[in-house]
Amino acid sequence: MDVARLAGVSIAAVSRTFTPGSSVSPKMAERVRKAARQLSYVPNNLASSLITQRTNIVALMLPNFVNQIYSALLSEASLRLEEIDKQLLLFTPFNDSDLDRTLQRMLEYQVDAIVIAAASISSHMAALCHGRDVPVVMLGRHMPNLPVHSVRGNAEDGGTKAAKLLLSGGGKRFGIISGDQTYMTMVERQQAILQCLRVTNDIENVAIVDGKLTYEGGYQAALEIMRGEDRPDSLFCLTDIMALGAMDAIRHNLNLRIPEDVAVIGFDDIPEAAHESYNLTTVRTPVRQMIHHMMDLISLETPQDPPQTILIDAELIIRSSTRSAHNNP
């Protein structure tokens, strides 16, 4: 290598100079650094990774960016990883059939760990990753019996808390704007809500409409639900982004009041939920804590340990889109 020649030392010496903790005399290190500066030398990570078996790259799979909650997860992960000089390699597969191919490509890049948000993993790929000692962390989804870690908010707890709140606010007629039922989180939130409603009241039918996990979808779903007969006085939106659409439809299109005419609760606590125009009561998705646990899991010294499942308690963020117990309509 040119630097070694210019400095008149061995190749090993320049390698040691750029490897913290190696034994080099200050004199030699100085000589090497000077030569490196002259040649604008930049170490080649690929070559070193080939030997050390570490790339300091973590692969992250995200389904999309339309829901702010994914940006939040990405942002927090990126910040925390940057602190320990690791980088995020981003993958956004178009559809579920791409999943295996995407995972395969992650492995080709020799990433140190794989983080999967809101998607699944085949047992075949899970085994492959496990066999290669690449830890896999699922965010917001549990894959029982697979050798992958899992970190998520307790959707059941969240659904229950949401239902209890609307019930205590005097809710009698309920609607749910739901999302893609292939996401376990959606199913769990909905099940918990329904179960809680059934136990407490004897409710025969709850209007459930798919909100497509978007603002626009939430808007349309709210229109449909609220125009039906037996108009709900309480509306669950399985994600905040749909709740924002629903609130806008309720207020600006249907000219109803929130929470007087209808209480609205969401899930996630995206930044917009706190905007004064919405002031949405919601069940927070614990992004900070999830990423905190993710960080621990990907840096486990013993990757072959049994997979861990971490469940984080739901936190209710009460704002003004719901009624409190003592001011029922």
Partner DNA sequence: CTGAAAGCGCTTACAG
Q: Which of 5, 6, 20, 24 binds DNA (CB under 7 A)?
A: 24
CB of 15 to DNA, least distance (A): 3
Query: Taking a C-beta distance cutoff of 8 angstroms, is the pair 272, 246 a contact?
Result: no
Of 22-30, 46-54, 136-144, 173-181, which segment contacts a copy of itself by CB under 8 A?
46-54
36 close to 183: Cβ distance less than 8 angstroms: no
Among 21, 42, 205, 306, binds a copy of itself (CB under 8 A): 42
User: How far out from the chain centre does Cα 84 lie?
Assistant: 20
CA distance 159 to 172: 17
Of these, 5, 37, 38, 52, which contacts DNA (CB under 7 A)?
52
In the list 16, 141, 152, 251, the residue contacting a copy of itself (rule: CB under 8 A) is 251
Residue 15's binding partner among a copy of itself, DNA, none (Cβ under 5 to 8 angstroms by kind) is DNA
Q: Cα(first)–Cα(last) distance of the chain, in Å?
A: 79
Cα separations in angstroms, 125 against 133, 164, 304 = 12, 40, 16
* Site size with a copy of itself, rule: CB under 8 A: 56
Residues 194-213: x where in contact with a copy of itself by CB under 8 A, - otherwise, as a string: --------------------
Token representation of residue 48: 């070193």
- What backbone phi and psi angles, to 5 degrees, belong to 102? -65, -45
Q: With binding defined as CB under 7 A, does residue 15 bind DNA? A: yes
Using CA atoms, how far residue 105 sits from 60, 92, 110, in Å, is: 12, 12, 9
**Contact assessment for residue 129 and residue 102, using Cβ atoms and an 8 Å cutoff:** no
Q: For the window 228-247, what string marks contact with a copy of itself as x by the rule CB under 8 A?
A: ----------------xx-x
DSSP letter at 262 equals: -
Summarize as ranges the residues that interact with a copy of itself (CB under 8 A).
40, 42-47, 49-50, 55, 57, 64-66, 68, 71-72, 74-75, 78-79, 82, 85, 87-94, 104-105, 107-110, 128, 131-132, 215, 219, 244-245, 247-249, 251-253, 271-272, 275-278
